[in-house]
Amino acid sequence: MQTTQYTNAAQQRLIRLLLHMFGDIVGGYAPSALARDIGCSAAVMTRDLDNLRTAGIAECDEVDGRWRLTARLPQQAVKVYASIGRAESRLAETKAAIHRNNDY
């Protein structure tokens, strides 16, 4: 039986880049620093950053040329916290209903 390798180096690099960029969402990073930190060439970093810009995930400051994440991913984190809050409320309601039942 033949095994298939699903891991893609370019996709893994892009994930590392995203996680790294969370380190400074206000000041951002120079592309050269990102390329050095991620371990790729400047040309590869340019492509990766452009893909993040196309997806609406990163933006380049026109004044200083530094790249930072947009609000798009942090907004998703807010959704996660809201979902957890709703789940906690449902759990508390369920616990309260169980304790109100005097059948035991």
Please say whether the beta carbons of 18 and 73 come within 8 A: yes
* pLDDT score, position 104: 58
Q: Give me the pLDDT at residue 45, please.
A: 98
Scanning the structure block, which residue is given the tokens 């996680």?
Answer: 19
* Residue-level pLDDT at 103: 67
How far the first Cα of the chain sits from its last, in Å, is: 56
Nearest CA among 11, 91, 86, 94 for reference residue 55: 11
Q: Is the pLDDT of residue 1 over 80?
A: no
pLDDT tens-digit series, residues 21-77: 999 999 999 999 999 999 999 999 999 999 999 999 999 999 999 999 999 988 998
pLDDT at 102 exceeding the cut of 90: no
Looking at the chain, how many residues does it have? 104
